[in-house]
Amino acid sequence: MSKHQYAMVMDLNKCIGCQTCTLACKKQWTDGDGMDYMYWNNVETHPGAGYPRDWHRIGGGFDAQRFLRPSSLPPLEDYGAALEYDYGQRLYGGSNKPVMPHRLPDYGPNWEEDVGGWDTNNPYYFYLPRICNHCTHPACLEACPRKAIYKRQEDGIVLIDQDRCRGYRYCIKACPYKKIYFNEVTGKSEKCIFCYPRLEKGRVNACAAQCPGRIRFVGLLDDPDSPVHKLVLKYKVALGLFPDKGTHPNVYYVPPFNPPKEGFAGRSLLEDPRLPLAYLKYLFGPKVVGVIEFLHAELVKVQSGGGSEVLQLLIGRDEGVRYRIVPRQVREAAPGEVGRRTSDAPAGPALTLMGTPGKAAPEVAGHAAAGASNCHGCALSAHCRA
């Protein structure tokens, strides 16, 4: 058990499946040799097979007796091979052939985009963004015979020691989320690092910083002022994926509570759910019903002219609401800061906390305020400049 635990909450009601997070991560971390097929952050359509194909059906995690239940090893075909286009020949080589991928694709990340499910007159789907869950009880860590995987005491981030890893891939078989990838060029396994180098500089994860839907909330789970603490532990509206896998994931989801199928004619979300509750229970466990009931009640309260702190929080108006990053050096300089409410904090030198109002990190602040010169070019850029 780590002393602190960084966590992320993703509000699935706000994800538009634009893959900006995917590309932010790809560009930041996985554009090197052997990493072509891997997406430490991916967004997939559900219901669906996902990436890699059928990851949520093939096994991994622990059984009820806490024994590992490893899956098979997904072949490259189940991830979908990355495609290359011979631009050189087309643009400079004098070839008149159209630019075609080097092989015909037959699967890939979000291959089933917008397919989803179907019942009578009701097609339905939602997007599920996924990163490594940086589990409290990581099955990958327990499975590694080399002791190459470790969980950082200071923030709970799970990492693979690239010097110790020898590419045996027991970790991939053990991970119930299939969020570890084998790099054939290095012969080692690699995974999401929760952008720890960014966090240590007080900057939020790349996937969260770039998210135009503002679906992601980041902070320490044990920090009462962090949005993740509020959403997960105070309001209890965010749930881990596949809790029955026994790893205790630290990436949480606010489940989609779409409007009723037949409109608002006096029927509640639970009476006439657009998304089958059975599927949501499959993903998030039985507690999802209570979460939807609670959120529905909050929605009704707001629609009746009342207020709702949790819905206000979920709107996530700015990075001060969505993120609270406490770099390690800040925690070490003021060890009492985490775990103490801001209102209780003693007067003293200002701490550089991302997410503290008025102290947003430049990169993210630039998104909202700096205009075109610092714009990331996402779909919201016009909105930001406005």
**Helix runs in the chain, H state only:** 20-29, 76-79, 87-91, 139-143, 170-174, 196-199, 206-210, 227-229, 277-284, 287-303, 309-315, 319-322, 328-333, 362-369, 381-385
248 part of the interface to other proteins, by CB under 8 A: no
Beta-bridge partner residues of 126 = 46
**CA distance between the termini of the chain:** 45
For other proteins, the closer of residues 107 and 282 by Cβ is 107
Which two three-digit tokens encode residue 246? 């026994």
The distance of closest approach from Cβ of residue 347 to other proteins in the complex, given in angstroms and rounded to an integer, is: 50
Phi, psi angle pair for 189, to nearest 5°: -95, 145
Please, which of residues 154-173 interact with other proteins by CB under 8 A? 166-170, 172-173
For other proteins, the closer of residues 58 and 321 by Cβ is 58
Rounded Cα gap, residues 95 and 91, in angstroms: 8
29 part of the interface to other proteins, by CB under 8 A: no
Please, which of residues 93-112 interact with other proteins by CB under 8 A? 102
Rounded Cα gap, residues 251 and 296, in angstroms: 23
23 part of the interface to other proteins, by CB under 8 A: no
Is residue 52 reached through a cis peptide bond, with omega within 30 degrees of 0 on the bond before it?
A: yes
Please, which of residues 170-189 interact with other proteins by CB under 8 A? 170, 172-173, 181-185, 187
Rounded Cα gap, residues 143 and 173, in angstroms: 8
The distance of closest approach from Cβ of residue 195 to other proteins in the complex, given in angstroms and rounded to an integer, is: 21
The distance of closest approach from Cβ of residue 75 to other proteins in the complex, given in angstroms and rounded to an integer, is: 5
Please, which of residues 34-63 interact with other proteins by CB under 8 A? 34-38
The span of 19-27, 75-83, 258-266, 377-385 binding other proteins (CB under 8 A) equals 75-83
Which two three-digit tokens encode residue 271? 């009476």
Please, which of residues 128-147 interact with other proteins by CB under 8 A? 143, 145-147
The binding site for other proteins (CB under 8 A) comprises 31-38, 67-70, 73-76, 79, 81-82, 84, 86-89, 102, 143, 145-147, 166-170, 172-173, 181-185, 187
